[in-house]
């Protein structure tokens, strides 16, 4: 026996794995699988597509451009001049109830927040509240890390420097009287941004942390005075700042500005009526052929209004069905006579 | 064959001593070795041997310190690595960087470290084995202690005396100075060196030959002068200079090589000549070869295209960015970032910077992991090939070896196979079949019947084996009766192994021809009588003396070593039991010999008193010999010589002279076969010493032939000779054995008077032709008697030649030539070389697979042709085109003719076989003719090159490979195939009988030829399709992924921004998508192994590179771009005009891309095992795990992307899942649709094979059996793919060959010719007389008048009449050997076109025969035409073909 074993010392293992005989599923694209499979997928997709389309249709969106590049528009005077805090207002009328919850966005187009060097121009540690980064901002912020007198800029970098600074108030005119629509600015940024990613240095008062630093060049007010109305909404955890710092993916984007506070008359959304938006026009966009707009929108389970996905599902679904029909014809013509 | 190979080995090898480490201060061609003990006191510089390498070996590449720099340096030889390091470093430049610089280093560091770890591990293993070897013990003589002391191998130096004991391994190359063996021999086994298992004898240096006492190193004071170290195992030249000034030559027989094992010798002492790395074994040790496969070459082209695409994309982006910047002019937008200096960058500068940035961002397009992945997959493929049970030979316990790791996929793309014949197609197990002695043929019918019985049993056995399990193995074969049963169980298994008894039985057991046996008995008894009466032996009738000489020649004219079967490694010595034998040597000398010579006076003592010519029986006075013999007689007796079991007087030592008990170890199997054959006639070789051969003859008992010289076999002489002193006649006799073509020329021209001799020669030649026609290997045996003076004269010259260092080979050759002339022909033998199992089937299926098979052999034409028929290489339905020419012009004409013939009959193309001999081949391979030769050879279905030299073999392979641009595979087993194996794209060695040289040179080593079928058809196909698909997938995957970023550039101002996070971008290839493709690349089977083997046509897939055609790369690229468009724009529109941020948008795209890529792999995967499922699940899980961890780990790190909590948020969004559903489906829809339609409408053969796989087993078997019968026949329309087979044009097998070529093509052809002839006046010069039409053909200028079918019947009769007439007119005196070809019908040979040239080259003939009967007749017709017509009347006569 021993001899026998030693004789076949080189004998390979006879296992399914080594002999490449592992049990396997071998799908072959045959009529039996492909046609029913396509029909099933197609029908499912058409179903989803219809549901998506219906949902999307139910979403109301109101977009108001206020760039003011055409002479007739209300903000054209502001867009021409470089006056700070130029005021203009937009009027619009809702004929039906704008279902709540209503979100109030500002939109920019032709604005490249995704520009590579722009995106890198920030200092995460500084924004995390690291005081050493206050005095010496990262070189990634360059050339927005020090001002001309070599003082560190906080918050440094191009993103912060270019922060959107138009402000809006919404008023509703009901039978001659104008009353403010309350806008809720809390919780418009990501929870993780507000609580984890961005932090103010744990110095009280906050102002002291910024000693020896300067505000970004384009800013009117330093970071610790961004929101005069709410002390906690200042510094790096300012909601508007957080929203701005989350760079948009595409050159045409909107960013959440406020929510319509669902209280009083506005519990169900914006009721029908005449509204006015008062705009403090600061942000120049005409230099790069940009546009600014205001968007009111409500959301569904699938997010904002987007008919595309529903249509895409419908198209792909019907394509699948069409293909299965084509294949059925093909099979019928070329295959079945042979298979008999 | 083996010796033939040995000689050729030198040619094939690399130039010697290329790696020589140290150079001696004075550059001369020799090395001088002094004994170390003389210089022991003189340490250091004084030692004359100090310049030589010591015995410590170090095969490692690196040391601890040098590892990192050296390994990195080696890795940077790969261009891709340099490129990736460059890109990683580019990231450190702030202006252009795209990722976190450290992160960008990760992939390249990963790749480099994987390779480095692999190298380190390999090197460590080498280090460990080095250490083990260096610390082995051996005995080295120490001057201080005056004895041999144990030392490590590494301490051995050149010039040391070492003592070797039995079964010890030699630590260095040692010159043998002393041996305990009484014959001053030392046996070594060289298996580790060349794989040859037979023992080799080594001799003590001549000057130390006659030492009576033990060798004393202290007394040694000679100097050895020898060659510089080189890697030629079979060469060692030098001389030893004694104090006295005497010089003695040294040969390879004196040198023991490192790595060999001492056998059969109790003790040996030698001096170290070469040590450590300078030993021949180490110099021969070159690592595995690096070849680049065809697929890889193709891949590199596409990698190059990828680089171009990359550059174009980068350029496009750079220009785009420049323009984008330009449109803003001086009025910079608020999101623009100024340069660090606070100034605006000019658009041009930023475009240039961006170009570099884009190269970094798009680097994924050049697949960094591709090279590593391919290597991993190939290692796995090699593992699986190794593990295949079907490629495992139980007999020899060997499986396939892959020696080249990186060309597995080439196996699937072969187009031409060049095969050796002997040992590759055949077993190289020689079986004696027939012989001719003195012109009388002894057919050995009984023997043939016995062999047929074995064969039958074999096939029965195979059947029973295939149905049931294995039969129990039994071990001993004792008698013929029981052998039958045992043989049944063993014969199938044991064809090759040397120790395998059943097989050995077949070879050894020869049933003697009764007639011949009688004659032998008769003869020897007469001789015995004559010896008894002191009559001169010359009175013996010449035919009888020829017979006995014939058998003596068979017995002694070889280098066979005798050993006993129980301990095959132990020599059978001719000593008595009185001597002490530590290792249980079996004494076979019968007791009576001992008694008769006296217990202590064995041969040795006798010889030592009578050194030089030492034969006991041929001691100086013939008288005394006879008296001794006379004394011997009574004790032995006649009966004993014939008794099957000789008497054993002593119970302790059983000396069996029984035939079954002696084993012969021969260097080539045909030698052994002849010795066994002789033994069947009771002429058995009993022992062989360096200077004598002991033979036992019937009636005469043991005779000792003093061996004066052995002129070994070599491929140029094609013969070997021994010079002996005949003990009975005391004549110096030369026995020569060799190829008939050579020997026949050396036969003494018969005297005019002696017609009988002429007749004998003629008849022998006739039988030789017969043998050859039967596929037997033929050998001629001749002898010559030298007078003392002649011998002395020759000896002088020969000795001079032997001692010359320069030009020794040439001198020896000339000297041999002088000796081997004017021979007396004794007879001829026919040895059968059996075909290996399954060779015809393998060849048939390989041919069906579209492979062109050429056989290149050194054998003679007839043998080769018949073996070719036997193994179905040539088909009986085929026409045979035989090219034999003996001048350049003749060859050119023949090729021209053949071309005409082929072109004029296009329908016959596939049915042609080409046979060409070595000489013609040499002309055909000439630059001017090679194109024509190839054109002819291409149109033939099979090509057979006979009598080709190793060099020619490699030239043919090279020619076909280079000119036809095809993939070539060379397969062979001997050293003569080495050059061919090395030249071919894939070299396959058969690890068989003839040592390991072919295996060493090969890329793959197979135990048997038939395994080639599975290796190519299954593993080759799989490896190719797996790797091809994987490479294409890699390109697709990277392109698809990179294109996503490219599309994004249109939306980010071409700024090099990426929505895919840098981590995903960098690890996507390395981790997330790496495993499934590796699994698929290793395990995917497009068609099952069974179907692949049953439908060899599927192999065409790989030959035509159908899995990976150049356009497929582009199709994949287009598909990749389409898919990336879908993966990009569906999320784009889904998120358009929303508040989505960069990475919340980019992460779904990454996920979608991953899903799409995996699903794509899924559609390309043909078999889904659990490993495929696992790997895909693992990939997805890995991606999400990494993403979730990464997005949760550090809120302030990973600048610039910092995608904190993105994935977590995405997983809560329904939109994310909705995208995940639709995008991969939409992306893969076209591909899926295409696959489905194509699989239905125009399925590729492979797809049909897969469909076949799905069918239930019995239906499949039905279809396959159907298909095998009617390949391509219109009767099976259901299997259209079968007609895709190249080699089977419809209807060929259905129609009679004649009706195709004759009635239909004939008239057409003639008109063709007629039209052509005026245009080509040279045609008329080339008269081709047709053999079917004796007279009219001369008027007719058309070469192929046989196409006229109306004439043929009539002509047949006329030619038949001719032949009858001829038979009568043949005279025995006619030495025209070709006319003797009235041979037995050739096995199933039918059509043959024979183009041959007579020696003068002035005329030619085209012979065209139709079928076997006609062929026979026509052969006579050749001769008749030749003879009846006076040459003067026929300016261009039909000359007979002459093959010899």
Report pLDDT digits (tens) over B950-995.
Answer: 888 888 998 999 999 999 999 988 777 888 888 889 999 887 665 6
| pLDDT for B613 beyond 70 | no
* More confident of the two residues B44 and B418: B418
pLDDT attached to residue B454: 66
| pLDDT for B1436 beyond 70 | no
pLDDT attached to residue B502: 46
pLDDT digits (tens, 9 = 90+) for B244-266: 888 888 888 888 888 888 877 78
pLDDT attached to residue B508: 64
Least confident span in B392-396, B446-450, B1225-1229: B446-450
3-state SS of chain B: helix, strand, coil percent to 5?
Answer: 50, 15, 35
* More confident of the two residues B1391 and B237: B237
Catalytic residue IDs of B: 420
Residues near B290 by beta carbon (within 8 Å), at least 6 away in sequence: B404, B406
Least confident span in A17-21, A30-34, B692-696: A30-34
Sheet of B440-442: strands edge to edge?
B440-442, B426-437, B824-835, B776-786, B732-738, B719-725, B701-714, B692-697, B684-689
| pLDDT for B1342 beyond 80 | no
Establish whether B713 is an annotated binding residue: yes
Full DSSP string of B79-120 = HHHHHHHHHHHHTTSTTT--S-HHHHHHHHHHHHHHHHHHHH
d(CA B129, CA B121): 12
**Helices and strands (DSSP H and E) totals, chain A:** 12, 11
CA B1278 to chain centre: 41
| pLDDT for B12 beyond 70 | no
Confidence of residue B305 (pLDDT cuts 50, 70, 90): very high
Q: If you average pLDDT over residues B414-430, what whole number do you get?
A: 83
Collect all residues of chain A within an 8 Å Cβ-Cβ radius of residue B389: 11-12, 14, 19
If contacts are CB pairs under 8 Å, which of residues 285-344 in chain B contact chain A?
328, 331-342
CA of A211, closest CA in chain B: separation in Å? 23
Confidence of residue B661 (pLDDT cuts 50, 70, 90): low
| Of B797, B934, B916, residue with least CA distance to B865 | B916
Per the document, the length of chain A is 340
Residues near B67 by beta carbon (within 8 Å), at least 6 away in sequence: B120, B123
Interface contact flag, A115 B335, Cβ < 8 Å: yes
Interface contact flag, A128 B1140, Cβ < 8 Å: no
CA of A175, closest CA in chain B: separation in Å? 34
CA B945 to chain centre: 17
- Percent of chain B whose predicted confidence (pLDDT) is above 70: 71
Match 């279902």 to its residue by tokens.
A99
Which of the given ranges, B290-299, B869-878, B1037-1046, B1249-1258, has the highest pLDDT on average?
B1037-1046
| Of B777, B893, B530, B687, residue with least CA distance to B182 | B687
Collect all residues of chain B within an 8 Å Cβ-Cβ radius of residue A327: 1233, 1236-1237, 1240
Interface contact flag, A114 B1253, Cβ < 8 Å: no
pLDDT attached to residue B1031: 93
d(CA B22, CA B199): 34
CA of B337, closest CA in chain A: separation in Å? 6
* More confident of the two residues A38 and B1438: A38
| Of B833, B1013, B837, B1005, residue with least CA distance to B465 | B837
CA B1064 to chain centre: 49
d(CA B737, CA B1209): 91
Mean pLDDT of chain B: 72
CA of A161, closest CA in chain B: separation in Å? 9
pLDDT attached to residue B581: 37
Best mutation target, B98, B103, B317, B335, to test chain A (most A CBs within 10 A): B335
Token pair, residue B114, equals 């994987």
Interface contact flag, B331 A287, Cβ < 8 Å: yes
- Percent of chain A whose predicted confidence (pLDDT) is above 70: 96
Backbone angles phi, psi at B695, to 5 degrees: -125, 140
pLDDT attached to residue B1152: 94
d(CA B1257, CA B962): 44
Full DSSP string of B1281-1315 = GGGG-TT--TTTTTS-HHIIIIIIHHHHHHHHHHH
Confidence of residue B6 (pLDDT cuts 50, 70, 90): very low
pLDDT digits (tens, 9 = 90+) for B501-512: 444 455 567 777
| pLDDT for B25 beyond 70 | no
Least confident span in A24-38, B362-376, B889-903, B1375-1389: B1375-1389
Q: Report whether the peptide linkage leading into residue A143 is cis, meaning its omega lies within 30 degrees of zero.
A: yes
d(CA B384, CA B1014): 13
pLDDT attached to residue B1035: 93
Interface contact flag, B1138 A303, Cβ < 8 Å: yes
| pLDDT for B729 beyond 50 | yes
pLDDT attached to residue A147: 87
**Who among B332, B336, B1168 is closest to A25 (CB)?**
B1168
* More confident of the two residues B165 and B1346: B165
Cα B1208 to Cα A167, B459, B1186, B1188, distances in angstroms: 32, 70, 12, 7
Establish whether B424 is an annotated binding residue: no
**Who among A115, A190, A254 is closest to B1053 (CB)?**
A115
Establish whether B202 is an annotated binding residue: no
pLDDT attached to residue B1385: 34
Full DSSP string of B928-963 = TTHHHHHHHHHTSSEEEE-S--HHHHHHHHHHHHHH
Residues near B409 by beta carbon (within 8 Å), at least 6 away in sequence: B293, B294, B295, B378, B381, B1020, B1023, B1024, B1026, B1027, B1028
Q: If you average pLDDT over residues B102-111, what whole number do you get?
A: 85
Residues near B511 by beta carbon (within 8 Å), at least 6 away in sequence: B444, B446, B447, B449, B450, B680
Q: Report whether the peptide linkage leading into residue A17 is cis, meaning its omega lies within 30 degrees of zero.
A: no
pLDDT attached to residue B564: 59
3-state secondary structure at position B1340? coil
Alpha helices of A149-291 — where are they, by DSSP H?
158-161, 191-192, 206-209, 239-245
| pLDDT for B466 beyond 70 | no
Residues B272 and B55: beta-carbon distance below 8 Å: yes
| pLDDT for B1224 beyond 90 | yes
The upper half-sphere exposure of residue B1435, i.e. CA atoms within 13 Å in the direction of its Cβ, equals: 6
- Percent of chain B whose predicted confidence (pLDDT) is above 90: 15
CA-derived radius of gyration, chain B: 38
pLDDT attached to residue B640: 38
pLDDT digits (tens, 9 = 90+) for B1379-1430: 333 333 333 333 444 444 444 433 333 333 333 333 433 334 333 333 333 3
d(CA B103, CA B1192): 18
Establish whether B877 is an annotated binding residue: no
DSSP state of B1015: I
| pLDDT for B1305 beyond 90 | no
| pLDDT for A69 beyond 70 | yes
d(CA A86, CA A68): 12
pLDDT digits (tens, 9 = 90+) for A110-156: 999 999 889 888 898 899 888 898 998 988 888 888 888 889 998 99
Collect all residues of chain A within an 8 Å Cβ-Cβ radius of residue B398: 10
**Who among A11, A251, A302 is closest to B1215 (CB)?**
A302
**Helices and strands (DSSP H and E) totals, chain B:** 50, 37
| pLDDT for B1040 beyond 90 | yes
Least confident span in B66-75, B363-372, B380-389, B1078-1087: B363-372
Establish whether B737 is an annotated binding residue: yes
Cβ of residue B399 closer than 8 Å to a chain A Cβ = yes
Measured N-to-C along each axis, helices B294-328 and B368-387 cross at an angle, to the nearest 10 degrees, of 160
Confidence of residue B659 (pLDDT cuts 50, 70, 90): very low
Q: What angle is formed at CA B542 by the lines to CA B541 and CA B548, rounded to 5 degrees?
A: 95
| pLDDT for B408 beyond 70 | yes
pLDDT digits (tens, 9 = 90+) for A40-52: 999 999 999 999 9
d(CA B1370, CA B1362): 12
pLDDT attached to residue B286: 58
Cβ of residue B1220 closer than 8 Å to a chain A Cβ = no
* More confident of the two residues B1264 and B1097: B1097
Question: Which helix or strand (DSSP H or E) is residue B416 part of?
Answer: strand B416-419
Establish whether B406 is an annotated binding residue: no
Cβ of residue B1212 closer than 8 Å to a chain A Cβ = no
3-state secondary structure at position B234? coil
| pLDDT for A313 beyond 80 | yes
CA-derived radius of gyration, chain A: 30
d(CA B1130, CA B1145): 11
Interface contact flag, B340 A142, Cβ < 8 Å: yes
pLDDT digits (tens, 9 = 90+) for B1137-1173: 888 999 999 999 999 999 999 999 999 999 999 999 9
Full DSSP string of B115-159 = HHHHHHHHHHHHHHHHHHHHT-EEEEEETTTTEEEEEEGGG--TT
| pLDDT for B619 beyond 70 | no
* More confident of the two residues B418 and B548: B418
Residues A141 and A335: beta-carbon distance below 8 Å: no
ipTM greater than 0.85: yes
Match 């994004």 to its residue by tokens.
B1048
Give the pairing type, strands B173-179 and B255-256: antiparallel
Establish whether B671 is an annotated binding residue: yes
Token pair, residue B228, equals 């510089």
> What does the buried/exposed string (b/e) look like for A135-170 if buried means 16 or more CB atoms within 10 Å of the residue's CB?
eebbebbbbbbbeeeeebbbbbbbbbbbbbbbebeb
pLDDT digits (tens, 9 = 90+) for B338-392: 877 777 778 898 899 999 999 989 988 887 788 888 888 988 998 998 888 888 8
CA B1324 to chain centre: 46
pLDDT attached to residue B801: 80
- Among all residues of chain B, which has the CA nearest to that of A193? B1204
pLDDT digits (tens, 9 = 90+) for B916-951: 988 888 888 888 888 889 988 888 888 999 888 888
If contacts are CB pairs under 8 Å, which of residues 1009-1028 in chain B contact chain A?
1022
Least confident span in A266-270, B166-170, B456-460: B456-460
Interface contact flag, A121 B337, Cβ < 8 Å: yes
| pLDDT for B86 beyond 80 | yes
CA of A177, closest CA in chain B: separation in Å? 34
| pLDDT for B584 beyond 80 | no
d(CA B1006, CA B993): 12
pLDDT attached to residue A244: 94
| pLDDT for B589 beyond 90 | no
Q: If you average pLDDT over residues B1264-1280, what whole number do you get?
A: 43
């Amino acid at each position: 026996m021993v001899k026998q074993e030693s004789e076949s010392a080189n004998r390979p293992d006879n296992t399914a794995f080594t002999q490449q005989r592992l049990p396997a599923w071998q799908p072959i694209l045959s009529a039996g699988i492909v046609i029913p499979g396509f029909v099933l997928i197609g029908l499912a997709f058409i179903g989803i597509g219809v549901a998506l389309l219906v949902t999307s249709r139910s979403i109301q969106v109101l977009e108001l451009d206020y760039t003011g590049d055409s002479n007739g528009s209300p903000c054209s005077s502001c867009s021409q001049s470089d006056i700070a805090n130029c005021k203009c207002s937009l009027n619009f009328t809702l004929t039906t109830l704008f279902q709540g919850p209503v979100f109030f966005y500002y939109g920019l187009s032709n604005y490249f927040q995704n520009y590579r060097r722009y995106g890198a121009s920030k200092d995460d540690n500084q924004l995390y509240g690291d005081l050493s980064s206050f005095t010496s901002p990262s070189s990634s912020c360059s050339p927005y890390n020090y001002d001309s007198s070599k003082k560190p800029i906080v918050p440094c970098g191009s993103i912060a420097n270019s922060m959107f600074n138009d402000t809006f108030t919404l008023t509703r005119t009901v039978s001659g009287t104008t009353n403010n629509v309350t806008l809720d600015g809390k919780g418009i940024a990501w929870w993780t941004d507000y609580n984890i990613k961005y932090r103010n240095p744990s110095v009280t008062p906050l102002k002291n942390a910024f000693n020896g630093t300067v505000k970004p060049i384009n800013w009117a007010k330093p970071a610790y005075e961004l929101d005069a109305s709410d002390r906690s909404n200042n510094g790096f955890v300012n909601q508007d700042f957080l929203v701005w710092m989350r760079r948009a993916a595409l050159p045409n984007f909107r960013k959440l500005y406020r929510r319509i506070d669902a209280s009083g008359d506005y519990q169900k959304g914006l009721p029908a009526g005449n509204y006015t938006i008062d705009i403090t026009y600061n942000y120049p966009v005409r230099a790069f052929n940009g546009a600014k707009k205001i968007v009111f929108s409500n959301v569904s389970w699938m997010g904002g209004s987007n008919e595309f996905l529903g249509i895409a599902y419908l198209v792909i679904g019907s394509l699948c069905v069409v293909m299965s029909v084509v294949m059925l014809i093909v099979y019928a013509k070329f295959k079945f006579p042979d298979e008999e | 064959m083996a010796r033939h190979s040995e000689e050729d080995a030198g040619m094939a090898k690399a130039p010697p001593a290329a790696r020589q480490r140290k150079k001696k201060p004075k550059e001369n061609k020799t090395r001088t070795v002094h004994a170390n003990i003389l210089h022991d006191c003189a340490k250091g510089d004084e030692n004359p041997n100090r310049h030589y390498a010591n015995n410590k070996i170090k095969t490692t590449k690196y040391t601890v310190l040098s590892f990192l720099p050296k390994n990195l340096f080696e890795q940077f030889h790969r261009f891709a690595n340099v490129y990736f390091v460059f890109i990683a470093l580019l990231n450190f430049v702030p202006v252009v960087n795209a990722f976190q610089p450290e992160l960008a280093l990760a992939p390249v560091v990963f790749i480099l470290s994987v390779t480095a770890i692999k190298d380190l591990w390999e090197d460590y293993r080498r280090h460990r084995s080095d250490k083990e070897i260096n610390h082995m013990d051996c005995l080295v003589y120490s001057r201080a202690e005056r004895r041999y002391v144990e030392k490590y191998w590494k301490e051995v130096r050149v010039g040391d005396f070492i003592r070797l004991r039995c079964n010890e391994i030699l630590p260095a190359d040692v010159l043998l100075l002393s041996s305990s063996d009484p014959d001053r021999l030392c046996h070594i086994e060289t298996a580790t060196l060349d794989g040859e298992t037979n023992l080799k004898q080594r001799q003590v240096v001549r000057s130390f030959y006659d030492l009576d006492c033990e060798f004393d190193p202290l007394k040694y004071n000679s100097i050895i002068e020898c060659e510089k170290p080189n890697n030629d195992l079979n060469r060692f030249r030098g001389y030893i200079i004694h104090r006295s000034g005497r010089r003695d030559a040294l040969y390879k027989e004196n040198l023991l090589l490192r790595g060999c094992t001492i056998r059969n010798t109790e003790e040996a002492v030698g001096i170290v000549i070469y040590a450590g790395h300078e030993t021949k074994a180490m110099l021969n040790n070159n690592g595995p070869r690096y070849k680049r496969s065809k697929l890889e070459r193709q891949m590199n082209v596409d990698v190059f295209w990828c680089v171009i695409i990359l550059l174009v994309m980068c350029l496009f982006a750079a220009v785009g960015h420049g323009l984008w910047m330009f449109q803003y002019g001086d009025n910079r937008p608020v999101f623009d970032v100024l340069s660090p200096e606070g100034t605006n960058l000019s658009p041009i500068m930023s475009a240039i910077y961006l170009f570099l940035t884009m190269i970094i961002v798009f680097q994924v397009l050049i697949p960094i992991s591709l090279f590593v992945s391919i290597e991993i997959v190939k290692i796995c493929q090699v593992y699986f090939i190794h593990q295949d049970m079907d490629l495992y030979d139980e007999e020899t316990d060997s499986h396939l070896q892959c020696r080249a790791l990186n060309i597995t996929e080439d196996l699937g793309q072969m187009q031409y196979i060049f095969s050796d014949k002997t040992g590759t197609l055949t077993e190289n197990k020689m079986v004696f079949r027939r012989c001719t002695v003195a012109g009388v043929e002894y057919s050995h019918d009984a023997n043939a019947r016995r062999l047929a019985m074995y064969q039958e049993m074999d096939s029965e056995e195979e059947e029973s084996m295939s149905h049931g399990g294995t039969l129990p193995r039994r071990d001993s074969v004792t008698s013929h009766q029981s052998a039958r049963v045992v043989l049944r169980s063993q014969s199938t298994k044991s064809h090759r192994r040397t120790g395998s008894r059943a097989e050995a039985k077949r070879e050894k057991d020869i049933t003697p021809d009764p007639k011949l046996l009688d004659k032998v008995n008769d003869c020897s008894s007469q001789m015995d009588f004559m010896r008894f009466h002191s009559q001169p032996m010359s009175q013996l009738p010449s035919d009888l003396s020829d017979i006995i000489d014939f058998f003596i020649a068979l017995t002694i004219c070889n280098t066979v070593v005798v050993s006993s079967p129980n301990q095959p490694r132990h020599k059978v010595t001719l000593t008595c039991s009185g001597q002490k034998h530590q290792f249980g040597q079996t004494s076979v000398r019968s007791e009576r010999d001992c008694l008769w010579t006296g217990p202590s006076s064995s041969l040795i003592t006798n010889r030592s008193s009578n050194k030089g010519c030492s034969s006991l029986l041929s001691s100086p006075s013939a008288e005394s010999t006879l008296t001794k013999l006379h004394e011997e007689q009574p004790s032995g007796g006649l009966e004993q010589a014939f008794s099957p079991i000789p008497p054993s007087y002593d119970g302790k030592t059983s000396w069996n002279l029984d035939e079954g008990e002696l084993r012969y170890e021969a260097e080539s199997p045909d030698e052994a076969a002849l010795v066994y054959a002789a033994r069947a006639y009771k002429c058995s070789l009993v022992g062989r010493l360096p200077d004598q051969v002991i033979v036992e003859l019937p009636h005469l008992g043991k005779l000792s032939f003093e061996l004066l010289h052995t002129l070994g076999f070599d491929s140029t002489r094609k013969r070997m000779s021994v010079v002996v002193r005949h003990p009975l006649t005391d004549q110096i006799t030369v026995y020569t054995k060799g190829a008939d073509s050579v020997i026949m020329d050396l036969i003494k021209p018969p005297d005019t008077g002696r017609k009988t001799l002429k007749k004998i020669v003629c008849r022998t030649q006739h039988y030789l032709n017969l043998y050859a026609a039967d596929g037997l290997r033929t050998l001629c045996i001749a002898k010559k008697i030298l007078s003392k003076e002649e011998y002395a004269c020759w000896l002088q010259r020969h000795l001079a030649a032997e001692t010359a260092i320069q030009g020794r080979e040439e001198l020896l050759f000339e000297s041999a030539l002088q000796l081997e002339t004017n021979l007396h022909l004794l007879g001829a033998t026919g040895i059968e070389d059996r075909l290996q199992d399954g060779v015809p089937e393998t060849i048939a299926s390989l041919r069906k697979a579209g492979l062109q098979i050429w056989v290149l052999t050194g054998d003679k034409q007839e043998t080769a042709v018949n073996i070719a028929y036997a193994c179905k290489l040539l088909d009986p339905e085929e026409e045979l085109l035989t090219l034999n020419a003996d001048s350049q012009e003749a060859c050119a004409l023949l090729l021209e003719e053949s071309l005409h013939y082929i072109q004029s009959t296009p329908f016959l193309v596939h049915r042609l076989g080409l046979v060409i001999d070595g000489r013609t081949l040499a002309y055909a391979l000439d630059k001017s003719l090679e194109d024509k030769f190839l054109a002819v050879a291409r149109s033939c279905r099979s090509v057979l090159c006979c009598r080709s030299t190793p060099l020619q073999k490699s030239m043919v392979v090279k020619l076909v490979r280079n000119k036809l641009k095809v993939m070539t595979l060379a397969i062979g087993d001997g050293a003569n195939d080495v050059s061919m194996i090395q030249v071919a794209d894939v070299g396959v060695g058969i690890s068989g009988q003839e040592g390991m040289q072919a295996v060493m040179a090969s890329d793959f080593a197979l135990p048997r030829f038939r395994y080639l079928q599975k290796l190519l058809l299954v593993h080759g196909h799989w490896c190719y399709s797996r790797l091809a698909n994987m490479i294409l997938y890699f390109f697709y995957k990277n392109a698809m992924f990179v294109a996503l970023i490219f599309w994004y550039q249109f939306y980010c101002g071409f700024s090099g921004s990426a929505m895919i996070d840098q981590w995903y971008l960098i690890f996507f290839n390395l981790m997330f998508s790496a495993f499934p493709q590796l699994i698929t690349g290793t395990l995917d089977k497009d068609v099952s192994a069974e179907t692949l083997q049953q439908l060899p046509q599927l192999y065409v897939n790989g030959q035509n590179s159908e899995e990976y055609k150049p356009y497929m790369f582009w199709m994949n690229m287009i598909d990749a771009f389409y898919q990336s468009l879908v993966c990009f724009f569906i999320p784009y529109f889904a998120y358009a005009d929303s508040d989505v941020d960069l990475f919340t948008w980019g992460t779904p795209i990454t996920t979608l891309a991953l899903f799409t890529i995996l699903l794509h792999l899924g559609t390309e995967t043909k078999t889904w095992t659990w490993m495929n499922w696992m790997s895909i699940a693992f990939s997805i899980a890995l991606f999400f795990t990494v993403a979730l961890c990464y997005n949760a780990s550090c809120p302030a790190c990973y600048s610039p992307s910092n995608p904190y909590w993105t994935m977590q948020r995405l997983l809560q969004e329904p939109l994310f899942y909705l995208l995940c559903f639709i995008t991969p489906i939409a992306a893969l829809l076209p591909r899926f649709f295409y696959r489905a339609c194509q699989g239905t409408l125009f399925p590729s053969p492979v797809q049909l094979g897969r469909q076949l796989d799905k069918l239930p087993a019995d239906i499949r078997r039905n279809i396959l059996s159907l298909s095998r019968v009617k390949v391509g026949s219109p009767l099976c329309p259901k299997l259209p793919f079968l007609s895709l087979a190249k080699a089977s044009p419809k209807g060929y097998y259905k129609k009679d060959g004649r009706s195709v070529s004759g009635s239909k093509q004939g008239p057409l052809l003639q008109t063709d010719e007629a039209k052509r002839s005026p245009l080509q006046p040279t045609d008329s010069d080339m008269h081709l007389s047709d053999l079917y039409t004796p007279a009219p053909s001369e008027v007719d200028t058309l070469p192929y008048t046989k196409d006229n079918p109306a004439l043929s019947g009539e002509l047949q009769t006329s030619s038949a009449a001719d032949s009858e007439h001829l038979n009568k007119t043949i005279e025995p005196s006619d030495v025209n050997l070709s006319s003797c070809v009235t041979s037995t019908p050739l096995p199933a040979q039918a059509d043959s076109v024979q183009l041959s040239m007579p020696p003068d080259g002035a005329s030619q003939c085209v012979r065209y025969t139709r079928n076997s009967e006609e062929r026979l007749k026509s052969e006579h017709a050749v001769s008749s035409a030749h003879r009846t017509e006076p040459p003067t009347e026929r300016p261009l006569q039909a000359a007979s073909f002459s093959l010899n």
